[in-house]
Amino acid sequence: MTAYTLPPDKLAKALVLYHAGIWSYFGGTLWTVLVLYLLLRVGAGAAIRNLAARVTPRQLLQGFIVAPFWLVILTAIDLPISLALHHLNLRYGISVEPWSMWWIDFAKSLGLTLVVGTAVLSVLYLLIRRSPRRWWLWFWIISLPIELAAVFLVPIYIDPLFNHFSPLAKADPALVQQLERVSARGNLHIPPSRMFVMNASAKVTGPNAYVTGFGSSKRIVVWDTTIRELPTPQILAVYAHEQGHYVLHHIQKGMLFSALVTFIFFWIAFQLFRYVVLWRTRSFHISSLDDWSSLGALLLVVMVLGFFVDPVSNAFSRHIEHQADVYGEEAIHGLVPNPQATMAASFQRLGELWLEVPHPNPFVVFWTYSHPPTSYRMSFAAHYNPWAPGHHPRYIGPQSGDSIR
């Protein structure tokens, strides 16, 4: 089997989820922009700033009121869409997370958003006041070490707030042994202490794995749903793909890429924000660029720009995901009976469990897909054969293969 297909009942469900995803993303962006615009037109920017000014005359302290206020507004605007999506995911069996747990996660992530968002916005407005022409550049420079620290700290301090992780060596020592054969195949020693299993089955049904962290916090995480749903050769295929991200330094490349994108993003945001404040001073009730009454306008600018950055970062993501697919298939060669068939079967299984549509619209893929469509990944895997005479593997040279047959 080389072409990804779904049986009629699963296809019908997949189409509903696919269309819901499109509506929630494109419609959700439009909805957020519209509500933000209306709030600005009725003078919410000045009203929230005035409220803070009544509490304290100091601008820095006003930020601790204005910033959380707007962050709560943004979360509230998005809430109906999040609720509808979780309802749908429960109904179609993608999610098994009870509403009580969902609300606890929601509260935790809102808390994080408030703390981190308020700190970031306070620094930003401090820079705007100090350097009216270059604040975007200073903000970008400051953002670089912060991003690095965030990538390092998230797997240690943030991820465990939402999911339970345990050493894979404890949960499934036999599997670790198998995985070590894949890492040896790539001339790489990922210590078992860097392999974790995540208790994803508390919330979702589909399998997954990922690489995260930086330096000593770098790790490979396999969801327990993967171990439950996939036969061992397919787990090796999924793991080999993740190992590809690890070996090909995709986290470092992703950070460099994001540094470049944010540089351009901040510069455009700077120009747009100036333009909006200049031309909408009256209709948005903004006193000046460096006054907290402009925060709503800044969020509107960031929202619109972020929408246009998505296809750029998704194109980058699809590119490295494809590289990891190629690497993964080469890494399991000689370890599973038929790497092409194993890889293709794993994509069929993943697509069925996550209810991925076989033929997504190319424009939707271009704008919103972080991975190539399942149909593409599956047919590529089925036909990729660098071991044929006259061809060469891209990442892993030929070896005398041992086999688990």
User: Taking contact as CB under 5 A, which single stretch among the options 162-170, 255-263, 294-302, 314-322 is the one that binds Zn ion?
Assistant: 314-322
User: Taking contact as CB under 5 A, which single stretch among the options 83-91, 116-124, 274-282, 321-329 is the one that binds Zn ion?
Assistant: 321-329
How far, in Å, CA of 65 to CA of 143, rounded? 23
Torsion of CA 221, 226, 228, 231, to 10 degrees: -120
Quick one: 124 or 238, whose CB is closer to Zn ion? Answer: 238
User: Taking contact as CB under 5 A, which single stretch among the options 66-74, 109-117, 122-130, 315-323 is the one that binds Zn ion?
Assistant: 315-323
Smallest distance from the beta carbon of 220 to Zn ion, in angstroms?
Answer: 11
Smallest distance from the beta carbon of 328 to Zn ion, in angstroms?
Answer: 9
How far, rounded to the nearest angstrom, does the alpha carbon of residue 171 sit from its chain's CA centroid?
A: 26
Taking each continuous run of H as one helix and of E as one strand, the counts in the chain are 16, 4
- Whose tokens are 């704008």? That residue is 367
Give the x-and-dash track for 98-127 against Zn ion (CB under 5 A). ------------------------------
Q: What share of the chain is helix, strand, coil (3-state, %, to 5)?
A: 70, 5, 25
The DSSP element (H or E) to which 211 belongs, if any, is strand 209-212
Quick one: 41 or 249, whose CB is closer to Zn ion? Answer: 249
User: Taking contact as CB under 5 A, which single stretch among the options 96-104, 176-184, 215-223, 317-325 is the one that binds Zn ion?
Assistant: 317-325
Quick one: 321 or 356, whose CB is closer to Zn ion? Answer: 321
Give the x-and-dash track for 357-376 against Zn ion (CB under 5 A). --------------------
How far, in Å, CA of 384 to CA of 378, rounded? 10
How far, in Å, CA of 66 to CA of 44, rounded? 11
Q: Which spans in 131-249 are helix H?
A: 135-153, 159-162, 168-171, 173-185, 224-229, 232-247
Smallest distance from the beta carbon of 11 to Zn ion, in angstroms?
Answer: 25
Smallest distance from the beta carbon of 111 to Zn ion, in angstroms?
Answer: 29
Smallest distance from the beta carbon of 321 to Zn ion, in angstroms?
Answer: 5
Quick one: 88 or 248, whose CB is closer to Zn ion? Answer: 248
User: In the chain, how long is the greatest CA-to-CA distance?
Assistant: 78
Quick one: 321 or 352, whose CB is closer to Zn ion? Answer: 321
Q: Could you tell me how many residues of this chain bind Zn ion (CB under 5 A)?
A: 2
- 265 neighbors 309 (Cβ within 8 angstroms): yes
Strand ranges across the sheet with 195-198? 165-167, 195-198, 219-223, 209-212
Does residue 324 bind Zn ion (CB under 5 A)?
A: yes
Quick one: 122 or 234, whose CB is closer to Zn ion? Answer: 234
Smallest distance from the beta carbon of 245 to Zn ion, in angstroms?
Answer: 6
> Which positions lie near Zn ion, rule CB under 5 A?
321, 324
